[in-house]
A and B are shown apart, each in its own frame.
Chain A
Amino acid sequence: MTQLDRLSVYHWLNAWCIKPVGGALVRQEPEYILLALMGSPLKKIMLCSSEKEIFSVEEQVMVQHSVIINNMIEDGSYNHEESKIPLDCVDSKTLKKVIDYCTHHTHHHNDNQEDLEAWDAQFLNVDSNGLYDLLMAANYLEIRNLLDLIYGTIKNMIKGKKIDEIRRIFNIKDHGFTPEEEEQNRKEYPHFY
């Protein structure tokens, strides 16, 4: 069975959580049913944040979303038994959020568009710094849909706004123009500011 099939079966079993035992139907943990059917456990991988905190997450979830992690697993450089994937540029708080995003999108990929968008909106309800951290993490791990989501959000924060407000939102204190240049710009295009 391919990896993807296993995941589908996992979800199906998760929904039912039943297993026949001696003629009766008994509730079981999906992992064990899968184990019984497939003969191998649902793989988990270890991600290690810059603060040396370890997060255990389903391999499938990360492989589906992160090109970097997918490549590591495919080319065999990751050993399930012993290794953890060190992510030195991602702190614990951000890594937890990234895992949260990937897990939700894997488990809820059949949800309707509106519900997913609503979840994404509340997921990105963070301050600017949190947003930058998420963007950099998504870029590092190459998570396409999260990247597009964040680009879209930042684009909407910029769209239609004047210069002074954008500088405030993104905390751009030193604009780099000389006082003469800045004054000239403001005089020439007052409606931009």
Chain B
Amino acid sequence: MERKHMGMNDILPLELIHRILLRVPAGDLFRLRFISKLWHSLISHPDFAESHYDLNSATSSHSHFFLLKDDTNAWCVQLDTLFDVAAAPTTHKEVSLPSREMPSFSCSLFRTMGSCRGFVLLDKKLDFLVIWNPLTGSSKTISYSHIKVPRYDLIRYGFGFDASRDDYLIVLSWHDDYNQHRLVCFSLRTNSWINLDASLPKYMSRWKYQLFGWFLHGAIHWLCYSRDYIDDGILIFDLKERSFSKISMPQQLVGDYPITFTLTILGGCLALYLYDHDNHKTEIWVMKEYKVPSSWILMYEIPYGNNVPICMSNGSDIIALNYTPRYYWLRFVKYNVSGELLNYSPRPLFESDYFYRSFCVYTESLFPFPGDNKDRDKKNKTGM
């Protein structure tokens, strides 16, 4: 074949095409499976999703913002090109939530309960959970209406990945009718509920209000009170060991009860943010070294409140969700470490009156559910 009739697939060795594809954003890869059979086999290979995720998850280019619009639709916003006017048409897209397989007895709307490896956890209060990958469309619905919670108590949720068992776990905790603290988790791989009451630590009395935990370094993290309310801390549930440990808050924040702080993850580190009403600013503390309490630093002081930090950008800038109370207009703002406003999107970008429970940040991935690859190969053979 003459050179001018040859294309990329004929000229470049497989290894180089593979490396090129590893660097392409996940959002494009989903479409690129249909370029050619060769690309399809490279992208669909069981190890590809993992290699791609490892290479790309650290960079902000894969961070997406997910916001529920209503019970059937959501917005997905690409965060790294957020303020790039030229990229505007492609940064926001509206997606349809997976169709419900079971009728709902709950009259409440969906809530978001965090994300893990490209999967978003949606919750229909006290009824069922949905794990969904917005990019690939795969979803699983899990009913938990069998869990009975006393009227004014709340269930705490956690969602994470146990690498040692290649399994996604949804952890639920609540106080039952006898005021006993309960802990269960749902294993996606075995499709079963596991009782973890025995793992609950003795020193823990009540969890803080925050509904869901954050997954980082193979463990789920929640804010909690200690038994005598003296020191708050961050509760860590290791998914491999299935055991709890605790790390303390920044010393400067201990005992400041009128102030509510919220746990989040920024730039791959645990972070706490709080609104200082007296001084009209939002403080963001970051634990620079994982599990090292002395590494807590006050990294950002953003003027005014109504800012919920979403993610880090360019290594040290912070992107926050800014809301207008009363109207619940939402938009994004970007600040640098010195608290200077760098950029902002027009207001309102979205309108949502229940946004506290309806957004999360996720990283796009091509991961299938564990044990799904067999189905995938079958599909490939029938010409998918």
The interface of chain A, by Cβ under 8 A from chain B, is 128-129, 132, 135-136, 139, 151-152, 154-155, 158-160, 162-163, 166-167, 170-178, 180-181, 184-185, 189, 192-193
- Whether A155 contacts B35 by the Cβ 8 Å rule is no
Which chain B positions have C-beta within 8 A of A177?
Answer: 34, 36-37, 383
Complex CA–CA separation, A154 to B16 (angstroms): 11
CB of B25 within 8 A of CB of A159, answer: yes
Select from chain B the residue with minimum beta-carbon distance to A191: B31
- Does any Cβ of A come within 8 Å of B202's Cβ? no
- Chain B residues with CB under 8 A of A193: 34
Contact between A184 and B8, CB atoms less than 8 A apart? no
Contact in complex: A154, B20 (CB < 8 Å): yes
A153 to chain B, nearest CB (A): 10
B181 to nearest A CB, angstroms?
48
- Cβ contact within 8 Å between A166 and B32: yes
Provide the residues of chain B in CB contact with A167, threshold 8 Å.
35-36
Q: Does B325 contact A (CB under 8 A)?
A: no
Contact B35 A136 (CB under 8 A): no
Q: Which residues of A contact B28 (CB under 8 A)?
A: 158-160
**Interfacial chain A residues near B13, Cβ < 8 Å:** 136
Q: Is the CB of A159 within 8 A of B24?
A: yes
- Residues facing A in B234-253 (CB within 8 A) are none
A137 CA to B173 CA, complexed, in Å:
57
B337 at interface by CB-CB < 8 Å:
no
Q: Interface size for chain B: under 10, 10 to 19, 20 to 34, or 35 or more residues?
A: 20 to 34
Q: Point out the residue from B19, B34, B35 that lies within 8 Å of A189, measured CB to CB.
A: B34
Q: Known contacts A159-B24, A159-B25, A176-B38: does B11 contact A132 (CB below 8 Å)?
A: yes
Residues of A within 8 A of B7 (CB): 170-173
Which chain B residue lies CB-closest to A172? B7
Kindly state the separation between the CA atoms of A63 and B105 in the bound complex, as whole angstroms. Answer: 69
- Whether the pair A155, B8 counts as a contact (CB closer than 8 A) is no
Chain B residues within 8 Å of A136, by CB: 12-13, 16
Whether B383 pairs with A151 at a CB distance below 8 angstroms is no
Chain B min CB distance to A147 (Å): 8
Does the CB pair B20–A155 fall under 8 Å?
Answer: yes
Q: Are the C-beta atoms of A132 and B8 separated by less than 8 Å? A: yes
With A159-B28, A160-B90, A176-B36 as known contacts, state yes or no: A151 contacts B20, CB within 8 Å.
Answer: yes
Query: Majority SS of interface residues in chain B?
Result: helix
| CA gap between A160 and B4 in the complex, in Å | 26
User: Which B residues are closer than 8 A to A by beta carbons?
Assistant: 3-9, 11-13, 16, 19-20, 23-25, 28, 31-32, 34-38, 90, 383-384
Say whether A175 contacts B383, CB under 8 Å: no
CB distance from A4 to the nearest CB of B (A): 28
Name 27 A/B residue pairs within 8 A (Cβ), A-sorted.
A129-B6, A132-B8, A136-B12, A136-B16, A151-B20, A151-B23, A152-B23, A154-B20, A158-B24, A159-B28, A160-B28, A163-B32, A166-B32, A166-B35, A170-B8, A171-B5, A171-B7, A172-B8, A172-B9, A172-B35, A176-B36, A177-B36, A177-B383, A180-B383, A185-B34, A189-B31, A193-B34
Q: In the docked arrangement, what's the CA distance between A192 and B16, Å?
A: 24
Q: Is the CB of A192 within 8 A of B34?
A: yes
Q: Contact between B20 and A172 (Cβ–Cβ < 8 Å)? A: no
Please pick, from B8, B34, B384, the residue contacting A171 in the complex, using a CB distance under 8 A: B8
How many Å lie between the Cα of A171 and that of B7 in the bound state? 4
* Interfacial chain B residues near A185, Cβ < 8 Å: 34, 384
Query: In the complex, what distance in Å separates the CA atom of A46 from the CA atom of B3?
Result: 29
Contacts of A166 in B (CB 8 A): 32, 35
- Closest Cβ of chain B to A190, distance in Å, is 11
A129-B13 Cα distance, complex, nearest whole Å: 13
| Complex alpha-carbon distance, A151 and B90, angstroms | 22
Q: How far is the CA of A185 from the CA of B380 in the complex (A)?
A: 12
Report Cα–Cα, A159/B38, bound state, in Å: 19
CB closest residue in chain B, given A166: B35
Q: Please give, as numbers and ranges, the residues of chain A lying within 8 Å of B32 by CB-CB distance.
A: 158, 163, 166
Chain B contacts of A154 at CB under 8 A? 20
Are B34 and A163 closer than 8 Å at their CB atoms? yes
CA distance A192 to B11 in the complex (A): 25
B38 touches A135 (CB 8 A): no
Are B36 and A151 in contact, CB atoms less than 8 angstroms apart? no
CA distance A152 to B23 in the complex (A): 8
Which residues of the other chain, A, contact B19 by a CB distance below 8 angstroms?
A: 151
Q: Which 4 A-B pairs have the closest CB atoms?
A: A176-B37, A171-B7, A170-B8, A181-B383
Query: Most chain-A CB neighbours within 10 Å: which of B7, B28, B383?
Result: B7
Distance in angstroms from A151 CB to nearest chain B CB is: 5
Q: Please, how many angstroms separate the alpha-carbon atoms of A158 and B26 in the complex?
A: 12
**Residues on A with beta carbons closer than 8 Å to the beta carbon of B24:** 155, 158-159
**Known pairs A129-B3, A129-B11, A175-B37 / 12 extra A-B pairs, C-beta < 8 Å:** A159-B24, A160-B28, A162-B31, A166-B32, A167-B35, A172-B9, A174-B9, A175-B36, A176-B37, A176-B38, A185-B34, A189-B31
